[in-house]
Amino acid sequence: MIALKNFLHTLRRYKAATLLNILGLAVAFAAFYILMVQVRFDLNFDRSYPKAECIYQIALPQFYEEGKGYSSFIPRPDGEKAIAASPHIRQGGCKNTMGISETSLYDPEQGSSAGLNRHPVYQISHGLLEVFGFRCIEGSFARFEEPNTVILSQKTARALYGGKSAVGRSLVFNDDSRHPREVIAVYEDFPDNSSVHNGAITDIGEHFLNRTSNWMYNYLVKLDSPDHMEETRQAIIAGLKTLRPDVKAEVFEKVRLVQLHELYFSPEFQSMFRGNRATVYSLLTIAILIVVIAMINFINFSVALVPLRIRNINTQKVLGRPTPALRCDTVLEAAGTALISFLLAIPLIQWFAASPLAGITPINLFPVQNLPLLALTGTMALSAGVIAGLYPAWYSTSFPPALVLKGAFGLSPKGRRIRTGLIAFQYFISIVLIIAAISIQAQNRFLKSYDVGFSRDNILVAPISAAIAGRYHSFGDRLKSNPAIRDVTFTDRPPVGSDGSSWGSSYRGRQIQFNAVTVSPNFIDFMGLHVVEGRAFTEADERKSACSLIFNQTAQRQDSLTTGSELLGIGAMPIVGIVQDYNFKPLHAGIEPMALIVGGTEWGKSPNASKMRYALIKTSLADVGQASAFVKRTIREFDPLARAEVNFLDEFIGNQYQKETNLSRQLILFSLLSILIALIGVFGLVLFETQYRRREIAVRKVFGATIPEVLAMFNKSMIRIVLVCFLIAAPTAWYIVHRWLEGFAYKFRMGFWIFLLALAIVLLITVLTVTLQSYKAATENPAQSIKTD
């Protein structure tokens, strides 16, 4: 009860400061929760499977060559040899991750209109059902390896059939009604932080089972125990040596088994899912620091109240109340304030999750979806309140009764040093966050505007379905009939993207590996690429029996390629030219060996006859909107089930850096929050300073001090604190940003303007806050101040 009375008394006397303190804590707890949702998502990635700690992915030295790093995409013969190598491998299998596509699905009994929703469709081997612990909730996996069967996730089955049973129904893929597939089972959805896609899955069968040159499959094994990892690795090496007798023995020693969860964080492996451990721990640190900043405000607020409470505290001491009881009252008051702040944080979280601001993270932030984290935040809030109350509780009861007569403790050197040190720490954290936020934003702008080596003006990107890809010549002619469209080209992947296909071929008696991009003959001219040797593709190349290739300069230098020579792969494939290097992958990576390929008639006999999946459309500047609408209409004309999606190429390239964009937005948001919370502390500090120094201000004004001079008196001390903190924070922030930039092959130059801008932001906000808060004291009638002090 005493704690409640103290709280209500403080609220009545210092309404603004008390409410701001509670609001600061509430914002801090909400920020902690939001950041921890993302931290938990990343730290628990691929940990939801049964015995997840026993699941490993096989990684080989890329192309079995030294100095090329590792690849988690490997050929099938190597993978099959590996999973049969050790008795400690309980289950093993593969997935064709590069074959994942958003595909239109529909049940022929329901009609094609039911397939307007697209779903991930990909292939795995039966062994992965056991590796990942797929849980069958309807039907059976027993017939999974039979031709023309498919299993669906709960989410996909629900989208296609509602509440009806899916087992036994037929599914048509991409309007191919001649080859329907039977749904034999429905599996329980995997969580979003999983590398298993929830969609439609078919058996991989013997696809490329004997092709040693196609590095495009992920192989995973589940061991009986993590303790047998090294023994299993050695057994796999022994098996691979028999399969690849031409590879040097020392190269095999680099074969690795990577725990699946660790693959998510490892930059040295190719992976469709990529996390950044430094980013995760940075967000965790920010979450904790924001709470610490809010706790510092609370401690400052409580310490500043000590002079007002000493009389009451010492009176209770004289009347016999024990010191432990007095301290307990203060701690309970702090814990109650923290609890009130946490309850206020819940609607703040709910509002944030429903607002456009939630777009800074793709994760569901609603409290009902993250109850364990909400409970953790509540526990943390209560603990923070208790911790924040311990020091004021001990400090306010540590003085002898004689101090009642002295008063003015708030102006004592010791009291001032405590509050100044706490405020300085808040400023240090805020300045570091601001510099980091500005730097990441600058790097993000640099990535999006960097000259990647090809034309990107007025170009639209449109994914096309398999039905359209089979008629892409006709589709392109239809698009070019519109005067607003200047040209059209096609490719199997976007001009810049992290996905792709890795090819291996024999060149002059040795194996070489390279990234392969299938294009239409006019791709080079369309993109404005410069042929430095040989020639560009011609329409005749598309009619030849073997594929024609044009390599980039990096591949030429690395493998000593010459135009006019041939590679042995799908027939004898001629090298017709060399093109100037351009960035075909996001700028996290440097330029790698790459070949542009125009498929010939032999390629056309493949079951995947046309690999074209993207149309690139060059428009006239005046008619971009009209051209975009025409492209969408034409897509629906050629395939009513197709996804009519059109984006600018610039926008498409920018999406490759979505994680950096999200991180930048998060840091900006939480940097502003940290400043806001820190300024709440400044507000409280100035409030009490003006309260304690009213007589001093009045005397100064009597002796001729002007209002600007009084305002300057309060601002000088805060400006000094900011400047000292900046001198410490700037090198700290530089080091943090420098380490973060190491993850990019291309990076902006970190100029001194970033530090000056951060300093200017903090100084401006601080001066405005101090000036507005101290203006009332500076303009008060001196006689009134002296009379009421």
Same domain, 128 and 113: yes
Residue with tokens 């001990």: 394
Q: What is the pLDDT of residue 257?
A: 93
Using the predicted structure, report yes or no on whether residue 9 has a pLDDT greater than 70.
Answer: no
Q: Which residue, 655, 678, 711, sits at the end of a domain?
A: 655
pLDDT in tens, 99-132: 556 677 777 776 654 445 567 888 999 999 999 9
The pLDDT, as a whole number, for residue 640 is 77
Residue 217 is classified by DSSP as: B
pLDDT of 383 > 50? The answer is yes
- The residue with tokens 């609890």 is 339
In a domain, 413, yes or no: no
Between residues 694 and 47, which one has the greater pLDDT? 47
- The amino acid present at 289, given as its one-letter code, is L
Whether residues 473 and 622 share a domain: the answer is: yes
Give me the pLDDT at residue 189, please: 94
Residues 650 and 501 in one domain: yes
| Cβ-count burial 686-701 (b if 16+ within 10 Å, e if not) | bbbbbbbbbebbbebb
Per the domain annotation, does 414 fall within a domain? no
Query: Which is more confident, 440 or 641?
Result: 440
pLDDT at 783: 58
348 or 650, higher pLDDT: 348
pLDDT at 647 over 90: no
Same domain, 435 and 493: no
Contact present, 175 and 112 (Cβ < 8 Å): yes
3-state secondary structure 9-30: HHHHHCHHHHHHHHHHHHHHHH
Q: What was the pLDDT predicted at 499? A: 59
- Specify whether 572 is located in the same domain as 620: yes
pLDDT, tens digit, 9 for 90 and up, residues 555-566: 899 888 888 888
Average pLDDT, integer, range 180-209: 90
Average pLDDT over residues 434-463: 84
> Alpha-carbon distance 189 to 198, whole Å?
6
The answer on 208 and 292 residing in a single domain is no
Task: Kindly state whether residue 746 falls inside one of the protein's structural domains.
Answer: yes
User: pLDDT value at position 61?
Assistant: 87
Co-location of 782 and 648 in the same domain: no
**738 three-state secondary structure:** helix
Backbone angles phi, psi at 780, to 5 degrees: -70, 150
Does some domain include residue 585? yes
Q: Is residue 597's pLDDT more than 80?
A: yes
Report the relative pairing of strands 459-463 and 548-552 from DSSP bridges: unpaired
pLDDT for residue 117: 59
265-295 confidence digits (pLDDT tens): 876 665 556 777 877 888 888 888 888 888 8
E-assigned strand segments in 154-204: 170-173, 181-187, 200-203
Composition of the chain by helix, strand, coil, percent to 5: 55, 15, 30
Length, in residues, of the chain? 789
Question: How does residue 180 score in pLDDT terms, banded at 50, 70 and 90?
Answer: confident
Strands (E), 160-306: 170-173, 181-187, 200-203, 218-223, 256-259
| Of the candidate ranges 85-89, 154-158, 614-618, 703-707, the one whose mean pLDDT is the lowest | 703-707
- pTM for the full model? 0.76
Q: Identify the CA nearest to 598 among candidates 540, 522, 518.
A: 518
Question: Which pLDDT score, from 0 to 100, does residue 405 have?
Answer: 47
d(C-alpha 217, C-alpha 204), whole Å: 10
Three-state DSSP at 163 gives coil
Assigned domain for 412 exists: no
Q: Is 415 inside a domain boundary?
A: no
Share of the chain above pLDDT 90, in %: 24
Q: Which pLDDT does position 149 carry in this prediction?
A: 94
Same domain, 349 and 255: no
Give the per-residue pLDDT at 161.
86
Q: 153 and 283: one domain?
A: no
Q: Are 139 and 186 within 8 A, CB to CB?
A: yes
- Give the separation between CA 427 and CA 431, rounded to whole angstroms: 6
How many domains, the chain?
4
Q: Are 396 and 323 in contact (CB under 8 A)?
A: no
Q: Which pLDDT belongs to residue 115?
A: 46
Is the pLDDT assigned to residue 643 strictly greater than 80?
no
Within this chain, do residues 385 and 471 fall inside the same structural domain, yes or no? no
Q: What is the pLDDT of residues 656-714, one digit of tens each?
A: 777 777 777 777 777 777 777 777 767 666 666 666 666 666 667 666 677 787 778 87
- Per-residue pLDDT, averaged over 226-233, amounts to 94
223 — phi, psi (to 5°)? -85, 165
Chain segment 395-421, per-residue pLDDT in tens: 777 766 655 544 444 445 666 677 778
Mean pLDDT of the chain: 81
Cα 154 to Cα 384: distance, rounded to the nearest angstrom: 41
340 and 398 in a single domain? The answer is: yes
Shared domain check, 137 and 247: yes
Domain hosting residue 98, numbered range: 54-265
